[in-house]
Amino acid sequence: MKTVLWATLTANGNYAQSTPENPPKQEALDDFAAHAKAAGNFIVGRRTFEQMQAPGRVSQEELANADGPFAGMDIVVISNSIHDIPGVTVVRSPQEALNYLLHKGHQTALISGGADIHNSFLNQGLVDEVIFNVAPVLEGKGLNLLIDQNNYGYKQVQLLDCKPLGGEVVQLRYAIDR
């Protein structure tokens, strides 16, 4: 099973945070929905999952709605504090999330954030491909994606694709050798 990390970056390379002043671009959200539909799943951290369910975002009903954008999708929430959320699968670790999706027969696992989850997968060397959507915004102090949170180091990656998504968002896709 291939693991794909999908993330939005700011134009100055930060890990983009979704806030009322900096909402995600529709083009990036549409791209996420397309990748999630193609994979048939996505993995998300407990805090991002809660953020997705904030007023005006995706409701519990939409997640369960047979006609909605996430219909029939395996949604996996990683949490150590919550044990059960209706309509989704809750697991305790990145590896447990991958084991679950592998067992369900998925070809691709889509890792959709947030920062802790993305960094956990990167730190544990569990990512085959990264998709970065670069949004047209600069940010001050922010979050970062790191392959190692304690040490300096580099990992060469191979550029697979680079394309504009519209709305001034540019998508970069890289393969990571494991």
Ligand X SMILES: NC(=O)c1ccc[n+]([C@@H]2O[C@H](COP(=O)([O-])OP(=O)(O)OC[C@H]3O[C@@H](n4cnc5c(N)ncnc54)[C@H](OP(=O)(O)O)[C@@H]3O)[C@@H](O)[C@H]2O)c1
Q: Which residues bind ligand X (CB under 6 A)?
A: 7-8, 15-18, 45-48, 51, 78-82, 92-94, 113-117, 120
Residue 19 CB, nearest distance to ligand X (Å)?
7
Residue 68 CB, nearest distance to ligand X (Å)?
19
C-alpha–C-alpha distance, residues 45 and 114, integer Å = 6
E-strand stretches of the chain: 2-10, 41-45, 74-78, 89-91, 108-111, 129-135, 158-166, 169-175
Q: Which is nearer to ligand X, 74 or 126 (CB)?
A: 126
Q: Which is nearer to ligand X, 32 or 74 (CB)?
A: 32
Q: Which is nearer to ligand X, 66 or 82 (CB)?
A: 82
DSSP string over 38-76: HHTEEEEEHHHHHHHTSTTS--HHHHH-TTSTTTT-EEE
Helix, strand, coil percentages (3-state) for the chain, rounded to 5, are 25, 30, 45
C-alpha–C-alpha distance, residues 153 and 110, integer Å = 25
Question: What is the phi-psi region of residue 87: left when phi exceeds 0, alpha when psi lies from -120 to 50, beta otherwise?
Answer: left
Q: Which is nearer to ligand X, 15 or 74 (CB)?
A: 15
Residue 76 CB, nearest distance to ligand X (Å)?
11
Residue 131 CB, nearest distance to ligand X (Å)?
9
Residue 41 CB, nearest distance to ligand X (Å)?
15
Q: Which is nearer to ligand X, 52 or 67 (CB)?
A: 52
